[in-house]
Structure 1
């Protein structure tokens, strides 16, 4: 973290910042992006203090910022890609301030960083890992058992999963998407093709896809490594018509975008909120209510840093969610319908294009994919 430029400005990577957020370390951030971009999406954390002064307000000097920057904390200057933050950071250093950093790669890099967190051990040997995409709110999973691995809800930075599996002496045999994603580009098919794995997708979400896939349907067992480590798909529509959850090792419930720690999935990203709201209610209040309340819920997204637990893990006991999650307390059906069709945040950035990409109908460049994914995830009803 202490690599310095000739001017004394230091570099902080997205991984450095992620670890500080997860460990609740103090950090002061000066974000120099436009006000609208800042208001839409920013770095957040329990011990993060952040202000926004647009770059163009600092072109004639950093005096407007100096009085607001504490001398006792590390200061991180952030912009979209890196250049503006270096310029501003160097001026702050020249003004006599120490412990000044810029974010390497800017918010684009922050959006893409994945931090692996161990969820737990599996009964017959092996481990389950959660990959926290802290700048985007996406959560992916890897099950490792007896030299084999499966990746669930893979994001497009697929080399992270490939490298992680190799470092654990495992070969990726399966990649699976719980549903057709609308807020980020899936890397499941790409990773499967590259490593020779099987790609699984719920068929009800795959009616328009242009590529081959294996049908992910309720009642199947997908074995990884030791035969006692099984993944049981559970059909759980509502966020999409094909949404499918997994029970892993009779202990973990991977809920995709149906159920989160502090909210529930929205049913409108294919334009069918009125059609799917009944499915969403049945999944949450009927199907999930019949499962063991001791299952550990592992969602595909989080909306707020308050959902990050120990070491950054995002999880909760199912029984606790039925007591505390606002989306599971709406017992009147008409009130539930109103809540999940009217009480919705803005839709994700470029979500229609992302859906088209995940169907194989669009082939955006790497730069275009980065741009499509910029901003927060908005897959939940209550995340505003």
Structure 2
């Protein structure tokens, strides 16, 4: 009888995403340095994770084998994949099976987008959510009669064009709900590339260096011949121009104002004290006037617990008014204190990201990747 030797296997970001969406068990050995690990790591419902820096494993893995379970998938993770291949091969040589390395490392994990169908629209169109699971960013594609609009387009624009080509639709609009501070928008660049219309709230665009269409409450955006309407609602608080959208009287795209388990923070432009009143008015007054049955689709999630069935991030608006901690603060003074003090750290390089999204600086692709590394930290309660 011959014994087949186990081999180290690659796991793509897509394959890892599906494991997390399906809540399958996974053990992760993260070999990055402790500081990078503590700042940002892979998390999931059935994920066990241990951080042992690569430099502690260069002489061998024997000393850590007792920390790594047998009989289940083991994924070795590093920044760019090289160190994880080295450590993974040692685990295989030590007799472990079911060992994988993350293809492209955390760099690739940060940039992966996973499209999920949210639901159908009344004219036969469809709404898709693109989950950037490694960073917690969410963007959307509204598809109707051969046309598509993208809301909060991310930097990895190839994911949208490939998806649109696969579904035989033309991207005619790209829309940013606000001037982002945690990630670089791909909206303007994609619109210019495709001849589409780029939309941005005017109050967030006072310093932008390029042309755009003004998002205004009186201007509906139509997608497809049957006019699937994206109805903008000025909803300041995260930024002064933040705008939400109601799609097809059913779906409520809230940008960075309202999340499934938290609310947006008002401090990323340095104006927390000025904007906190706007944030409260939007959440506690403007949104209260809307139907409880709207399906909230935010621009971010902060924790893996916000990933629902199949990885979708959504919630009924009425349920959020009943359960979301940020919507339960009756006292205005207490609300002001909570959303202006003791906030989580601001996103990495957020000032440079804002400058990039204004068109004031043009960092290289590699510089943009580095600027975006780490969690989004757009919510009040993301600690």
TM category (shorter chain) comes to over 0.9
1:264 and 2:263 are equivalent in the alignment: yes
1:160 and 2:159 are equivalent in the alignment: yes
1:262-308 residue CA offsets vs partner (Å, 9 max, x unmatched): 00000000000000000000000000000001000000000000000
- Asked if the contact 2:131/2:137 (under 8 Å) is kept, the reply is yes
Residue of structure 2 equivalent to 1:49: 48
Residue of structure 1 equivalent to 2:39: 40
Bigger Cα displacement from structure 2, 219-228 vs 185-194: 219-228
Residue of structure 1 equivalent to 2:250: 251
What is the CA-CA distance between 1:9 and the residue it aligns to? 1.1
1:118 and 2:117 are equivalent in the alignment: yes
> 2: CA distance between counterparts of 1:328 and 1:151?
28
1:26-61 residue CA offsets vs partner (Å, 9 max, x unmatched): 111000001111111100000111100011111111
> 2: CA distance between counterparts of 1:154 and 1:107?
21
> 2: CA distance between counterparts of 1:146 and 1:138?
27
> 2: CA distance between counterparts of 1:366 and 1:179?
22
> 2: CA distance between counterparts of 1:273 and 1:358?
20
Consecutive aligned runs of 4 or more in structure 1 exceeding 4 Å deviation: none
What are the residue-to-residue correspondences of 1:13-92 with 2, within 5 Å?
13-92=12-91
CA RMSD, aligned part only?
0.9
> 2: CA distance between counterparts of 1:64 and 1:262?
40
What are the residue-to-residue correspondences of 1:2-21 with 2, within 5 Å?
8-21=7-20
1:207-238 residue CA offsets vs partner (Å, 9 max, x unmatched): 00001111011121100003341000000000
Residue of structure 2 equivalent to 1:235: 234
TM-score by length of 1: 0.98
> 1: CA distance between counterparts of 2:209 and 2:352?
15
1:210 and 2:209 are equivalent in the alignment: yes
Residue of structure 2 equivalent to 1:358: 357
> 1: CA distance between counterparts of 2:225 and 2:92?
56
1:221 and 2:223 are equivalent in the alignment: no
- Asked if the contact 1:205/1:240 (under 8 Å) is kept, the reply is yes
What is the CA-CA distance between 1:331 and the residue it aligns to? 1.1
> 2: CA distance between counterparts of 1:131 and 1:296?
16
Q: Is the partner of 2:67 in helix, strand or coil? A: coil
Residue of structure 1 equivalent to 2:322: 323
1:345 and 2:344 are equivalent in the alignment: yes
TM-score by length of 2: 0.98
- Asked if the contact 2:6/2:97 (under 8 Å) is kept, the reply is no
- Asked if the contact 2:144/2:226 (under 8 Å) is kept, the reply is no
- Asked if the contact 1:219/1:234 (under 8 Å) is kept, the reply is no
- Asked if the contact 2:179/2:205 (under 8 Å) is kept, the reply is yes
Unaligned runs of 5+ in 1: 1-5
> 2: CA distance between counterparts of 1:375 and 1:236?
27
Q: Is the partner of 1:183 in helix, strand or coil? A: coil
1:162-213 residue CA offsets vs partner (Å, 9 max, x unmatched): 1111111100000000000000000000110111100000010000000111
Unaligned runs of 5+ in 2: none
- Asked if the contact 2:148/2:223 (under 8 Å) is kept, the reply is yes
Q: Is the partner of 1:380 in helix, strand or coil? A: coil
> 1: CA distance between counterparts of 2:68 and 2:318?
44
Q: Is the partner of 2:310 in helix, strand or coil? A: helix
> 2: CA distance between counterparts of 1:69 and 1:83?
20
Residue of structure 2 equivalent to 1:3: none
Residue of structure 2 equivalent to 1:128: 127
> 2: CA distance between counterparts of 1:228 and 1:23?
35
> 1: CA distance between counterparts of 2:84 and 2:382?
29
Residue of structure 1 equivalent to 2:183: 184
In the alignment of these two chains, the number of paired residues is: 379
Q: Is the partner of 2:345 in helix, strand or coil? A: coil
What is the CA-CA distance between 1:7 and the residue it aligns to? 8.3
> 1: CA distance between counterparts of 2:120 and 2:83?
44
> 1: CA distance between counterparts of 2:130 and 2:235?
23
